[in-house]
Structure 1
Amino acid sequence: MTEQVTNTSAHFEGEGVVSFTAEPLGEIRPGWARIKVDVCALCGSDKRLLASGAAVVPGHEVIGTVVQSAEGAPAEGTRVLVYIPVSCGECKACLDQQNNRCYNLESLMGWQYDGGFAEYMDAPPQCLIPVPDDIPADVAVLALDTFGTAAHALRLGSRTQPGGIQNLLVVGCGPLGLGVVAVALAMGIPRVSAWDPNSARLALAEKLGATAATDMETINQYQVVAEVSGAGPARASAQNLVEPGGAILALGESNDPYVMPATPRWRRTDCFTVRSFYFPKSEVNDNWDLLRSHGAHLRDTIMTPTRLSDLEETFTRFLDGEYVKPYITHEEI
């Protein structure tokens, strides 16, 4: 890959403005590999960078093909996931394949280093995970934030329940919430319910196989509640609906603090609160199996292919709720 190869990349200028540059590819950072981006999905967290502007090329849900390898990286021609945490590889967590818990984690792909809203991107070897040949790119990308994060949270939640999770409520049916629904069903959780104030999003959860929750007032209904919106009212509902001894999976992101209510019931209730980040590499193989069973159905239910050149319009439609989980592809649409 030399100067004659041009890389088109997107840049977030702030206030929703996206610009593009087409520049010759430069030298690769020593020890890193280069991939040709096949798919880069949009994430709700990207909205913050779209509003504020970004110093790097955004995009952190990436599937690509290695075009220039490096020591410790997959060979050229290998399809890979881009694992977001740029972990140190040397601490106790990393040596145990718990790279999402890296003691020295400071940077993320697409946040502190250039990401996948481009034709090419570079990444360190520890951030590249080979993709099985039988899983197409537009399904494999779900193995990152949508399936990977959901599966990790459910596995942590199941550790709090001696008989595993039998009764789950998902509050918030955005992309991650719908991912939790799909993963829970793939894991064989017997009763999966969902709630969202947006009837169209709730209908998507039902299409995936969840039951719509109709009573959001009666306390002590659900063994485990996955709160995926981050909204204050949704958090309050989760804290009311969870059974004594149950667990709340606090997945929704918000700039507001997570607050536990100072009510008599809450003071007198046993409850686990589980906060998780992303997923460890040790879970990747199990996640491929989950994707094989439910990934294509989730893709067909929530994903929309779009072009890199249309990224600003795609984000507008994403923010408006027209698109649930759009993704950039460089293949024919």
Structure 2
Amino acid sequence: MNTATITNTGARFLGEGRVEFRTTEMGPVAAGEVRLRVDVCALCGSDKRLLAQGSSVVPGHEIAGTVAAAGADAAVAPDTRGIVYIPVYCGACPACHSGLTNRCTRYTDLIGWQRDGGFAHYVDVPARCLIEAPEDVPLDVAVLGLDTVGTAAHGLRLALRTQQETPRRLLVVGCGPLGLGVVAVARAMGVEQVDAYDPHPGRLALAVKLGAAEARDLDSQNQYDVTVEVSGAQAGRAAAQRVIVPGGAVVVLGESGEPYTMPADPRWRRTDCFTVRSFYFPLTEVAENWELLRGFGAELRDVLAERLTLPELEAAFDAFVAGDLLKPYIVSGADS
């Protein structure tokens, strides 16, 4: 299965929003790795940083594809369908031995960040980072099992461990793709009331379509058992902290270049509260995530996704940054 040299086209981010396509030769697949035909690579809000700053590798980390070839010691059959687990975990540290691969203490690379990712026709990844997709889950749904559902579900699972019972009221602050994933997951986990807030009326309407209610009061204290802050904005963070009940959990999923701060007022100092920060998801949760996607994945895909091709990547990012597209999917243009 270790193929001869093939021609590949991939995107490079040059900084300041500029995208360049380069055609290169890919040699035989390295030992322990597989070569995927990229069928879907979804845009992520974190990719905007690379778009602005530039990247030395091919970006794109929400990848679903099909095995085209495998290197030595990679026991993966051709045409295996799967999604790409982006932390290149070591498999040998105590965290990895317990299945908590997102907590690997030795990993240095994230696929799409420190090594080539999926804004290309083909990508080589470690075989251990390929999560095989069930036959009944289409790849355009399976890809949501990474950031959109995988990250959301892991953060919520950590938060639920802090509570004595399933939360009665949960607030989602920020209704981008990840926030909408949180809405869908929280509903599936049995949270009685899921409220959502976003200043963009269109995004808020999508949260309501997925089963949330519009949050109408972000000023009163002691309202929610769990708040999930997905915007990364200081105002959103302050609101999530303000409305939490004593003993509740604030889940911090939003990314920002600003420091995360806690209030210095008497009310906050006198409140029991869990602050939960999570990263990605461990491989031990994959089976549960497939079950979630079987339940609502197609509906979530239909709410989020807009299909484009690799040559349209720069235009896709322009529309994505402007807020005109919620979750662009770059779909395969390679020959199968």
1:156 — aligned with what? 158
Match of 1:138 among 137, 140, 144: 140
2:87 — aligned with what? 85
| Worse-matched range after superposition: 248-257 or 183-192 | 183-192
Is 1:100–2:102 an aligned residue pair? yes
2:283 — aligned with what? 281
Contact 2:310 2:333 in 1 (8 A): no
State the secondary structure of the residue aligned to 1:237: helix
State the secondary structure of the residue aligned to 2:148: coil
Contact 1:194 1:212 in 2 (8 A): yes
1:195 — aligned with what? 197
Match of 1:205 among 204, 207, 210: 207
Is 1:300–2:302 an aligned residue pair? yes
Return the alpha-carbon distance in structure 1 between the equivalents of residues 226 and 61 of structure 2.
29
Return the alpha-carbon distance in structure 1 between the equivalents of residues 135 and 50 of structure 2.
33
Is 1:27–2:42 an aligned residue pair? no
1:62-96 superposed Cα distances (whole Å, 9 cap, x missing partner):
00111112424422110011000000100011011
Return the alpha-carbon distance in structure 2 between the equivalents of residues 142 and 215 of structure 1.
31
Return the alpha-carbon distance in structure 2 between the equivalents of residues 316 and 149 of structure 1.
25
TM-score when normalising by structure 1: 0.97
Any unmatched runs of 5+ in structure 1? none
1:217 — aligned with what? 219
Aligned amino acid, residue 170 of structure 1: V
Return the alpha-carbon distance in structure 2 between the equivalents of residues 174 and 129 of structure 1.
25
1:32-66 superposed Cα distances (whole Å, 9 cap, x missing partner):
11111110000000000000110000000000111
Match of 1:320 among 319, 322, 328: 322
Contact 2:320 2:327 in 1 (8 A): yes
1:58 — aligned with what? 59
1:253-297 superposed Cα distances (whole Å, 9 cap, x missing partner):
111111011100000000000000000000000100000111111
Return the alpha-carbon distance in structure 1 between the equivalents of residues 134 and 323 of structure 2.
32
Contact 1:193 1:211 in 2 (8 A): yes
Return the alpha-carbon distance in structure 1 between the equivalents of residues 16 and 234 of structure 2.
25
For residues 57-76 of structure 1, what are the structure 2 equivalents within 5 Å?
Answer: 57-70=58-71, 71-76=73-78
1:161-195 superposed Cα distances (whole Å, 9 cap, x missing partner):
01122211000001100110011112221111100
Return the alpha-carbon distance in structure 2 between the equivalents of residues 331 and 244 of structure 1.
52
Return the alpha-carbon distance in structure 2 between the equivalents of residues 16 and 321 of structure 1.
15
1:259 — aligned with what? 261
2:15 — aligned with what? 14
Return the alpha-carbon distance in structure 1 between the equivalents of residues 81 and 139 of structure 2.
8
Aligned amino acid, residue 327 of structure 1: Y
Aligned amino acid, residue 41 of structure 1: A
Return the alpha-carbon distance in structure 2 between the equivalents of residues 152 and 92 of structure 1.
20
Contact 1:74 1:128 in 2 (8 A): no
Aligned amino acid, residue 286 of structure 1: E
Contact 2:166 2:190 in 1 (8 A): no
Q: CA deviation at 1:26?
A: 2.0
Contact 1:41 1:62 in 2 (8 A): yes
Return the alpha-carbon distance in structure 2 between the equivalents of residues 117 and 263 of structure 1.
46
Return the alpha-carbon distance in structure 2 between the equivalents of residues 77 and 276 of structure 1.
33
Return the alpha-carbon distance in structure 1 between the equivalents of residues 75 and 237 of structure 2.
41
Return the alpha-carbon distance in structure 1 between the equivalents of residues 210 and 75 of structure 2.
36
Contact 1:64 1:81 in 2 (8 A): yes
Aligned amino acid, residue 135 of structure 2: D
Contact 2:67 2:81 in 1 (8 A): yes
- CA RMSD for the aligned pairs? 1.2
1:136-175 superposed Cα distances (whole Å, 9 cap, x missing partner):
1110000000000000001000000011222110000011
Change (3 A) 1:73 1:112: farther
Contact 2:33 2:74 in 1 (8 A): no
Q: CA deviation at 1:331?
A: 6.3
Aligned amino acid, residue 115 of structure 1: G
Contact 1:220 1:242 in 2 (8 A): yes
1:46 — aligned with what? 47
For residues 103-142 of structure 1, what are the structure 2 equivalents within 5 Å?
Answer: 103-142=105-144
Return the alpha-carbon distance in structure 2 between the equivalents of residues 82 and 102 of structure 1.
16
Is 1:179–2:184 an aligned residue pair? no
1:104-125 superposed Cα distances (whole Å, 9 cap, x missing partner):
1211000011000000000112
Aligned amino acid, residue 83 of structure 1: Y
- Paired residues, number: 331
